Structure 1
Amino acid sequence: MSTETLDLEEQVVLLLAQVREELLNRLRYSSVSHDNNLYTQLSEHPEDDWVAYLREKAGPSYKELVDKLERLEAAQCQFDLGLFGFCSDCEEPIEDELLEHDVTTQRCKKCESLVKAREQ
């Protein structure tokens, strides 16, 4: 594994910890009692189950953070499987500048442009 890849993996691990901490802090210090209860309940769930649990229980104000958590967990899983940095569609390497910009990038430039064209 290259030094650059290790740096990206370390970045994913760090960002994952930061997002989890941010989620916990927002839930814990929320003025909404439901959020406070979610904070307590999350401590009883393995971190790997947080996304599914929060999708079901957390309000829309947490969607962006939960989405980010899900993308980071996917990137971590790709490292574990040795698939990090490969396009989820064509399986070709993702351009370095895309990964440096966002370590959760799932597609190469070509496939991302095809997806965006289909969405229009």
Structure 2
Amino acid sequence: MSGASPEAKLAVNRFVRMCVEVLNGHRPPAHLRHLSRPEEAAGVVAQGLAAARRVSDVRKAAVKPGRRPTRRVSPVAVIRLRLCEPRPGAVEAAVALVAGDRTWALALRLELHQQAWSATILRLI
């Protein structure tokens, strides 16, 4: 995770950890609101909700109708995190996530806003 300030790295790690908890169903997407810029909070939460639904849909599709799952579903986990700070006060990250045999990419941007790092963009690809 080179190319970014220690504060930016810490903020990205905190935000990614929260996103993984949302994707795993341990937190509601609304918890992303307090880590988002007020102007973009609704969009970040909506993207978090959409991402959590995609993960849930994939998990449900893996279960055969009328049968209980034969094994515990693998939680979403971070396998790689890359970030850069294109300018002071802005950091962008690409996160590779895995759950079972499925892989996703998570893209995000945080900006320094009123002395705190806040999310402005979140996308699960």
More strand by share: 2
TM-score norm. by structure 1 comes to 0.36
More helix by share: 1
TM-score norm. by structure 2 comes to 0.35
